[in-house]
Structure 1
Amino acid sequence: MIVENEDVLHGSGHFSNEPFTDFSLPENRLAMESAIAAVKTELGRSYPLWIGGKEAWSEERIVSINPAATSEIIGEVSKAGITQAEEAMQSALGAFQRWKKTPVADRAACLVRAAGLMRERKHTFSAWLVLESGKNWAEADADTAEAIDFLLYYAKEMLRLSSTNEHQPLIKLPGENNVLTYIPLGVGVVIPPWNFPLAICAGMAAAAIVAGNTILLKPASTTPIIAYQFYSLMVEAGMPADVIQYVPGSGAEIGDYLTSHPKTRFVTFTGSKEIGLRINKLAAETAPGQIWIKRVVAEMGGKDGIVVDETANLDAAADAIVASAFGFQGQKCSAGSRAIIVEDVYDKMVEKIVERTSVLTIGLPESNAPIGPVIDRASYKRILSYIEDGKSQGRLVAGGHAGPEGGYYIEPTVFADVDPAAPLMQEEIFGPVLAVAKAKDWREGIAIYNDTEFGLTGSFFSSDEGRIAEALQEMHCGNLYINRKCTGALVGVHPFGGFNMSGTDSKAGGHDYMLLFTQAKLTSRREAVQ
């Protein structure tokens, strides 16, 4: 169990992760079915912006649809334009002057209360994820559990960071009292992704606000209602309503505007490489009236892979490859979209991968099917285009077609005999597509793995300790796993973030993360001379 609220606030407990729900138990299945039915009664509502702690409506709307049943409208949210974005910025600036003075213990208590409320309504939040993002029960449950973990972990981390006794002590100098404290940055723009629309949204927002910053929250346009539910929860938990400004809108319009704004102190983003690079470029330009260098925290994606040598447990490796490639339809930045197999066991491994892929059935996430839809029509068309082009890059051994009508379904697809330089092996597809390449030996396998512009997650399967030691040294990624899948990082256990074009290696869910939302201030006081 997670530590009780008082333990988090007073530092007497130890953080542990929120347990996942066992849906094999009839009572848990019934609870989830009931939650989905209840959420479905709320579909089709309209939602406002929240600016300055008040509702704000706009004529333009963002329509959220169920990707598994595209005729079903999840809801409509007001769409912020430049005028509303500027109003939100001014409100956030004013709120910052108050919120930064709020004691750290009070800010942390808000996160702890929010975690408690989310735990009480865990299946309800998961039901929203099932319907708006197309996650099956297990994926949605893990998303909600991670959100709870982030809220509690960052509350405890900020308490730790604010304690001068527990943080690294300074060298004592006779006659002086020297103290290093961590103070907030200012107003930030938080841009979470659609693939973990609760967990990453909660994590990015919680870290920023518990540090004393105020934020403008611009959720992904495909999953804005889950972000609205999170915002409402935070206010219910006691957060002043203007600490977060809820401003869904166009990235090209208000995203660029706020990134370039002279009063924006930091931007934290999770999403594609292309948008992350654009944010970094815009933030690097100094706007008139700007008096700081903006801080960018970016997690941008990956082309992750699993290397398997001939000494590995082949069944365990095949299980891990299929789970990493097709969990949530491959729509994870950590998804293992490449499998690199040494030639001695290549044919056996391809057979095992195909065997496991062929039993994955497509269906409605609300019915807990293993494979659901991809997020939207643009993704659907792009992924199918990659599959069609892939037929000339490798040998199609599983899938390769669109799924049932009515939603954005695509069959789990496997290509074998893919050249390491082919687009299937180099470009992030972000869908249920796995490319398999052959290596002459394990060292070439590692070289093929490293031959990418990304560097987020990877995995190495072997029973040879010498090879494992070399893989640990040579495989260049932020999160490297041995003899397990390359997805499923846990808060506080696997600090998450990558190298190269995978982002700024921000290590979400780790001890370093809160430093990104604070600045260190040294105060030195010399004793008065009598």
Structure 2
Amino acid sequence: MGSSPDPVSGPFVNEPFTDFSLEENRVAMEAAIARAKASLGAEYPLRIGAERIYTAEKIVSVNPGRLGEVVGRVSKADRELAERAMQAALAGFETWKRVPARERAAVLFRAAALLRERKHDFSAAMLLESGKNYAEADADTAEAIDFLEFYAREMIRLSRINETMPLTQAPGETGELRYIPLGVGVVIPPWNFPLAICAGMTSAAVVSGNAVLLKPASATPVIAHKFAELMEEAGLPPGVINYVPGSGAEIGDYLTSHPKTRFVSFTGSKEVGLHISRLAAEAAPRQIWIKRLVAEMGGKDGIVVDETADLDAAAQAIVASAFGFQGQKCSAGSRAIVVEPVYDEIAAKVVALTKRLAVGLPERNCAIGPVIDEASYRRILAYIELGKEEGRLLAGGGPAEVGRAEGSRTEADSCDGYYIQPTVFADVDGKARLMQEEIFGPVLAIGKAKDWREAIALYNDTEFGLTGSFFSSDEGRIEEALETMHCGNLYVNRKCTGALVGAHPFGGFNLSGTDSKAGGHDYLLLFTQAKAIAVKK
């Protein structure tokens, strides 16, 4: 497979975000969007081993911000094709597991370099397929680059574990520890980070020496295909990543229950995650291992604000956390819990900031774009109607009317997508559904607490435990919050979204998942098994 320069000599550095306030960057992004539009409606095959298979049945990926635009028609696997992909993965694994760790890592480094060269093109494809604006799509692509480079470095580190953390040597023996791959796994990424999480989950598994069946989210299969294609271009052998879009009920359950599946890596909703957990826990006939489950599920995340906080900073963080990518993040801060002395002031600041958010087509780089599909649109609007009973409506409250761009006279430039106003409710009780259930949309519930300790108790009163934020200038309170706020990722005096690879290992407590800590030093251990070796001298 050749070799490439070793990029491990210096410290890991996160990929910088693009500054779209600069004219040249905006122009470059606009050009990338034009290129992406030139391939609208293209057909994409399954990728099974070295085969490219076009099927009669397709998943039709539609631009959620302009429903007349078909982003791509993606071939759809059935159980027969899923089984063929499993056999290709099993064959690919037998070769790939013998490739030295540094060579496997080199593929990821090359993929990161290619992705960096085509950063705007991948972001533009995401913008059309998922409804992200420039900054959200750019951050998604940057995170994908980070995952590729970070996990490549991590695999090299694990391969040198006997040098950096040698075992105690028993008398008369030479001992070592090797991290070996598990086998064939099923990777099921979400639609909301269709490149970053897809790349992170997949690359972690393959750099560890495993082969995978990649079943992308049905809402965003095109960007996942582009990633699989990129990995092949970077030097990944056939059969290591097998791209098999399809129905969760048909092929997802089939592959999860398959006796040759060694692990399942999933990111998505609590309900689907628990379903996968039940299937994976049941040993199939001829299955000789306990399947490993890596699951990152939902969140009902929140920001706690006390009376000593910087109120302007807190309000800005609440709005950014609640409405970034239309609130369609497992880390989204859909709750704000504010102490009584500053409650009204925070609510007023949040409403003022929310009303400044422009709703519109992502290619026009509006702050708020569409939600992903009709099912999400209807579910979120139903929660908004519920919110009118459970709280006091302060902003938004329904669908957003988005028309043509200023000066446009063409019907093609209209926005007929799934747009919803960023919505704020106040005076929401801690036990209300709006405070307890994951909405996954642009809806914020604000609740009142008598003091900061009660606010933390209200924050903790949920079945989830993914991200949280505490705003205060009191060091004693901050220290107590660090101990008592129960979540996998806790931030102080900043928003509760925007985890960076390497800086904020990501994963949650309770029903938010297995706390897998993506982007952290423990993550690759989930895709390997440790083999202790002792050789008598």
Partner of 1:456: 466
Aligned partners of 1:53 and 1:245 also within 8 Å: no
Partner of 1:6: 5
TM-score normalised to structure 2 length: 0.96
Query: Over aligned residues, Cα RMSD in angstroms?
Result: 1.0
SS in 2 for 1:430: coil
Aligned AA (1:193) = P
Partner of 2:511: 501
Question: How far off its partner does 1:173 sit?
Answer: 2.2
Task: Give the whole-Å Cα distance in 1 for the aligned partners of 2:513 and 2:502.
Answer: 20
Question: How far off its partner does 1:166 sit?
Answer: 4.2
Task: Give the whole-Å Cα distance in 2 for the aligned partners of 1:508 and 1:186.
Answer: 20
Aligned partners of 1:136 and 1:366 also within 8 Å: yes
Question: How far off its partner does 1:360 sit?
Answer: 0.3
Does structure 1 residue 28 correspond to structure 2 residue 38? no
SS in 2 for 1:434: strand
After superposition, residues 403-482 of structure 1 pair within 5 angstroms as: 403-404=400-401, 406-482=416-492
Which deviations, in whole Å up to 9, do the C-alpha atoms of 1:191-224 show, x marking residues without a partner? 0000000000000000000000000000000000
Aligned AA (2:188) = I
Partner of 2:412: none
Aligned partners of 2:400 and 2:421 also within 8 Å: yes
In structure 2, runs of 5+ residues without a counterpart are: 403-415
After superposition, residues 175-194 of structure 1 pair within 5 angstroms as: 175-194=172-191
Aligned partners of 2:301 and 2:334 also within 8 Å: yes
Partner of 1:93: 90
SS in 1 for 2:69: strand
SS in 2 for 1:392: helix
Task: Give the whole-Å Cα distance in 2 for the aligned partners of 1:520 and 1:474.
Answer: 34
Partner of 2:245: 248
SS in 2 for 1:71: coil
Which deviations, in whole Å up to 9, do the C-alpha atoms of 1:322-377 show, x marking residues without a partner? 00000000000000000000000000000000000000010110110000000000
SS in 2 for 1:30: helix
Question: How far off its partner does 1:58 sit?
Answer: 1.4
Aligned partners of 1:7 and 1:13 also within 8 Å: no
Task: Give the whole-Å Cα distance in 2 for the aligned partners of 1:43 and 1:390.
Answer: 38
Aligned partners of 2:162 and 2:177 also within 8 Å: no
SS in 2 for 1:391: helix
Aligned partners of 2:92 and 2:238 also within 8 Å: no
Deviates more, 1:165-174 or 1:38-47: 165-174
Aligned AA (2:318) = I
Question: How far off its partner does 1:167 sit?
Answer: 4.1
Question: How far off its partner does 1:6 sit?
Answer: 2.8
Task: Give the whole-Å Cα distance in 1 for the aligned partners of 2:531 and 2:238.
Answer: 28
Does structure 1 residue 278 correspond to structure 2 residue 288? no
Partner of 2:406: none
Partner of 1:147: 144
Partner of 1:230: 227
Does structure 1 residue 519 correspond to structure 2 residue 529? yes
Does structure 1 residue 55 correspond to structure 2 residue 37? no
Which deviations, in whole Å up to 9, do the C-alpha atoms of 1:237-260 show, x marking residues without a partner? 000121110000000110000000
Task: Give the whole-Å Cα distance in 2 for the aligned partners of 1:448 and 1:263.
Answer: 44
SS in 1 for 2:518: coil
Partner of 2:160: 163
Partner of 1:77: 74
Aligned partners of 1:300 and 1:503 also within 8 Å: yes
Which deviations, in whole Å up to 9, do the C-alpha atoms of 1:474-499 show, x marking residues without a partner? 00000000000000000000000000
Question: How far off its partner does 1:53 sit?
Answer: 1.7
Partner of 1:43: 40
TM-score normalised to structure 1 length: 0.98
Aligned partners of 1:321 and 1:353 also within 8 Å: yes
SS in 2 for 1:436: strand
After superposition, residues 38-437 of structure 1 pair within 5 angstroms as: 38-404=35-401, 406-437=416-447
Question: How far off its partner does 1:172 sit?
Answer: 2.3
Task: Give the whole-Å Cα distance in 1 for the aligned partners of 2:170 and 2:180.
Answer: 23
Task: Give the whole-Å Cα distance in 1 for the aligned partners of 2:508 and 2:65.
Answer: 31
Aligned AA (1:200) = I
Identity fraction in percent: 72
SS in 1 for 2:236: coil
Question: How far off its partner does 1:510 sit?
Answer: 0.2
Aligned partners of 1:160 and 1:166 also within 8 Å: no
Aligned AA (2:372) = I
Partner of 1:19: 16
Aligned AA (2:417) = G
Question: How far off its partner does 1:383 sit?
Answer: 0.2
Aligned AA (2:17) = F
Task: Give the whole-Å Cα distance in 2 for the aligned partners of 1:285 and 1:31.
Answer: 51
Question: How far off its partner does 1:174 sit?
Answer: 2.6
Deviates more, 1:233-242 or 1:148-157: 233-242
Partner of 1:489: 499
Aligned AA (2:118) = R
Aligned partners of 2:162 and 2:176 also within 8 Å: no
Task: Give the whole-Å Cα distance in 2 for the aligned partners of 1:168 and 1:439.
Answer: 48
Which deviations, in whole Å up to 9, do the C-alpha atoms of 1:166-186 show, x marking residues without a partner? 442211223210000100000
Question: How far off its partner does 1:401 sit?
Answer: 1.0
**CA separation of 1:477/1:35 partners in 2, compared to 1, >3 Å: closer, same or farther?**
same
Task: Give the whole-Å Cα distance in 2 for the aligned partners of 1:326 and 1:166.
Answer: 47
Task: Give the whole-Å Cα distance in 1 for the aligned partners of 2:187 and 2:281.
Answer: 17
Aligned AA (1:233) = L
Aligned partners of 1:446 and 1:475 also within 8 Å: yes
What number of residue pairs does the alignment pair up? 522
Task: Give the whole-Å Cα distance in 1 for the aligned partners of 2:517 and 2:17.
Answer: 22
Task: Give the whole-Å Cα distance in 2 for the aligned partners of 1:18 and 1:440.
Answer: 42
SS in 2 for 1:6: coil
